[in-house]
Structures are given as structure tokens and as C-alpha cells.
């Protein structure tokens, strides 16, 4: 198996993981989950947002969940946020869109995580290369990263405004 900046970072942290490289390009969340032997809720997407002051945050969102922009703005105390462009994603994370991970970043970034990702015991994150994912224990993820865990998902019952 090849190594990636993500697997090298996990190795350096002593975190057990498995790299899954897909045989064909990944076209959907369901395909990625099925081929990795997981439920879609166990696939964690690492999303990159640019704030009004030019700083960047990463938001980890489990499964098919969508980020609630009002909740994210409220948590961050800003009026405006935008999804980072593909060029900004590459520049800030060192990864191309679709391969982003909170591990192996060129510099520390503020990490937010939707509370939905603390439910599954096993998670899969971007591996730093396209069409691949790393699979690891949730507890290792929570121990290794400084995450601000909150309610950032759209449409969660009882969570207020969408």
C-alpha cells in the first residue's frame, strides 16, 4: 500500500488505521461507504470554509449531512463565510478537494466537528489522495485532534433554525 501525508501523520501519532484505495473513481458517498465496508454515516467529509477576515476553518461532517451556514456563522461569531475554492483548499491544506483530511496539514488549522461524528465507533476520513480513505477508531480521532464539537448540521430536529 502507498503512504500518504495522512498515513504518515497517523503513523507518527501511533494511531492504528487502514488505508483503503478504491479500484475505481469514487462517484458517491454510498459507493465509498459500501466499498470500505461502512455505513455512509461513518464517512467523514472535511470541508474548508473561508471567513470574512480571510482565515480558514475546517468542518468535519459525518455522512450525507450538510452544514447549516447560520449555525456555523453563529458558532464562529462572523457574519459571512464562504466555501473555499478548489485553489484555496489546495493552498491551505496541501490536498486537492475530495482528498482533504484534518491529519497531515502543512500548518495547524481551527477544526470544528459536527456532533454526529462522535456516534460511530469507526470512521473513515480523507487519505490525502483521491479515491482513497483512511479508516480508524473514533476515539483515536478525538484524542489526536483538538476539535470544537458542535451542532453544525442542517435540519436536525430540535436544533432550531435550519
pLDDT given for residue 94 in this prediction? 95
* Residue 156 within a domain: no
Please, what is the average pLDDT of the chain?
Answer: 92
pLDDT given for residue 49 in this prediction? 97
CB atoms within 10 A of CB 39: 14
Query: What range defines the domain where residue 136 resides?
Result: 5-150
pLDDT given for residue 155 in this prediction? 81
* Residue 157 within a domain: no
**Each residue's pLDDT tens digit, 86-106:** 999 999 999 999 899 999 999
* Residue 65 within a domain: yes
**Each residue's pLDDT tens digit, 70-88:** 999 999 999 999 999 999 9
Number of domains observed in the structure of the chain: 1
How many Å apart are CA 65 and CA 56, to the nearest integer?
Answer: 20
Q: Cα 26–47–14 angle (5° rounding)?
A: 80
In order of 5, 26, 38, the CA distances from 124 in angstroms are: 15, 14, 8
Parallel, antiparallel, or unpaired: how do β-strands 56-62 and 110-114 relate?
A: parallel
CATH of the domain at 29: 3.90.960.10
pLDDT given for residue 156 in this prediction? 57
Amino acid at each position: 500500500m502507498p503512504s500518504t501525508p495522512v498515513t504518515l501523520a497517523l503513523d507518527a501519532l501511533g494511531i492504528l488505521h487502514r488505508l483503503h484505495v478504491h479500484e475505481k473513481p469514487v462517484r458517491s458517498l454510498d459507493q465509498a461507504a459500501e466499498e470500505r465496508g461502512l455505513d455512509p454515516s461513518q464517512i467523514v467529509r472535511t470541508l474548508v470554509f473561508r471567513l470574512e477576515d480571510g482565515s480558514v476553518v475546517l468542518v468535519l461532517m459525518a455522512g450525507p449531512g450538510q452544514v447549516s451556514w447560520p449555525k456555523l456563522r453563529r458558532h464562529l461569531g462572523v457574519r459571512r463565510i464562504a466555501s473555499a475554492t478548489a485553489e484555496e483548499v489546495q493552498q491551505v491544506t496541501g490536498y486537492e478537494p475530495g482528498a482533504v483530511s484534518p491529519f497531515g496539514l502543512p500548518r495547524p488549522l481551527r477544526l470544528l466537528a459536527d456532533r454526529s461524528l462522535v456516534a460511530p465507533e469507526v470512521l473513515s476520513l480523507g487519505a490525502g489522495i483521491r479515491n482513497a480513505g483512511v479508516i480508524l477508531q473514533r476515539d483515536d480521532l478525538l484524542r489526536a485532534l483538538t476539535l470544537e464539537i458542535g451542532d453544525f448540521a442542517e435540519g436536525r430536529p430540535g436544533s432550531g433554525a435550519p
